[in-house]
Amino acid sequence: MLEKRTDSPDQSVEEVFREYGNMLYRIAFVMMKNAFDAEDVVQDTLIKYMERRESRKPFETEEHRKAWLIRVDINLCKNRLRFYKNHPKIGMEELSRYYEEKEDTKLMDSLLLLPSKYREVLLLHYVEGYQGKEIAGMLKLSESAVRKRLERGRGKLRALLQETE
């Protein structure tokens, strides 16, 4: 008789979703600018996670698991963005459903207007709390490139916010 696995993939995907679902969705939403793609990306990220589990490649630490999920999430977003560049889709998700304050909608609208390379570093640094070195590791960039993107992204965000005031 087969021994029952205590960490069955089904349980595990739910646990991972409970732990990191909001973060993965938030990143995907900011990258893709709509809920439909964000949902799909999170789903695909979790499928990749399951495949990795099936191939029995363990994570060294919980931080390693989290960073791996973020990297896969962002890469899947980038694949879609490259596709949509050639085959545009219609409409942009209404952000206002998340916000009552007009100021917050304006801030998020401005963030979404930034090119994706700035959006991803700003989100990882200011929202997810990662440092430059960690972001560099996740995005396979040099630390100085991350610093530059953060600096330029901040500048562009500030300029956009001033424009709309």
CB 36 within 8 A of CB 100: no
By C-beta, is 2 or 60 nearer to another protein? 2
CB 163 within 8 A of CB 106: no
Interface residue with another protein among 20, 30, 31, 33 (CB under 8 A) is 30
Site string for another protein, 108-137 (x = CB under 8 A): x--x----------xx--xx----------
Site string for another protein, 52-91 (x = CB under 8 A): --x------------------------xx-xxx-xxxxx-
Distant-in-sequence, close-in-space partners of 96: CB < 8 Å, separation ≥ 6: 105
Taken in order 115, 118, 36, 42, the sign of the CA dihedral is positive
2 contacts another protein (rule: CB under 8 A): yes
Q: What share of the chain is helix, strand, coil (3-state, %, to 5)?
A: 75, 0, 25
Q: Which two tokens stand for residue 66?
A: 């989290």
Distance CA 1, CA 25 (A): 40
Q: Which residues bind another protein (CB under 8 A)?
A: 2, 9-10, 13-14, 17, 21-22, 25-26, 29-30, 35-40, 42-44, 46-47, 50-51, 54, 79-80, 82-84, 86-90, 98-99, 103-104, 107-108, 111, 122-123, 126-127, 154, 157-158, 161
